[in-house]
Amino acid sequence: MNDSGIRLIAVDLDGTLLVDNHSTSPRNLEVIQRAEEQGVVVVICTGRPYSSADEVATHLGLVETPIVSYNGAVIRMPGRGETLRSLSLEPDVAGEIVADCVRQQLHLHYYLDGVMYVPRMSKWAWRYYRRTGVRPMPAGDLRQFAGQRPTKLLVVDEPAKIAQMLPEAQKRYAGRVYVTSSMPQYFELLPLDATKAEALRWLADHYGLCLDQTMAIGDGLNDLPMIQMAEVGVAMAEANEALREAADYVTTSQTEGVAEAIERFVV
């Protein structure tokens, strides 16, 4: 056993634990199980909605794994679905974002009370459904939700366009909304404290641990805050460049990077 003192591991899903057609290596699951048997808390930390993350966890047999979903806005326990933490966007800024997206004719997904609303079943809505299993609910004009508190808003488009729009949105909503990107074709708009780093901090406190007892593993820009906050920040081999530069360790394997990191630092 590599006694690093790590007692909590936050693991991203897409591009980290889930690779190669959204499956994972049996070695990843075996090493996670070994860590849990040694008393380490392993947490799924994803931008996906809770329903999608819980379905993945159940399929993988991770039935005791706490789930951070919506990038940190919601923390729930598996199975019984007990909600430990829940954040949402303020109605005024949510309405402003929706109006901006309608004016610019952007492809927007609106997450409210566990449902993902879309204006219509576009190719982007179908692609998201195929990737996550989250069924879109066509709702027409999303401005009808004025006054509501969505958990998250997601803009979907070609990677080149997302790369252009992301810094513009970060500047426009600075100080009011946390704007990040989980995948090249997405950028997400969330409550300011809905970061994976704040979720990591919250969970460490919940389990009576210090941040120097935590490790985080990820691949995307939205993983950067928790990679920087954790005592051991791990970037996947094919991770976002900024993430690799900030990480304490970069895996040599993409498909088994989770197992590689946990074996190196924990078990």
pLDDT recorded at residue 80 = 62
pLDDT recorded at residue 63 = 84
Q: Going from the N-terminus, what domains does the chain have, and what CATH number goes with each?
A: 8-86+195-265 (3.40.50.1000), 91-190 (3.30.1240.10)
Contact 30, 259 (CB under 8 A): yes
| Ordered strands of the 214-218 beta sheet | 83-86, 74-76, 67-69, 41-45, 8-11, 214-218, 232-235, 249-250
pLDDT recorded at residue 24 = 93
Pick the closest to residue 225 from 264, 188, 185 (CA basis): 188
Low-confidence ranges of the chain (pLDDT < 50): none
- At 130, phi and psi to the nearest 5? -65, -35
Does the predicted TM-score (pTM) go above 0.75?
yes
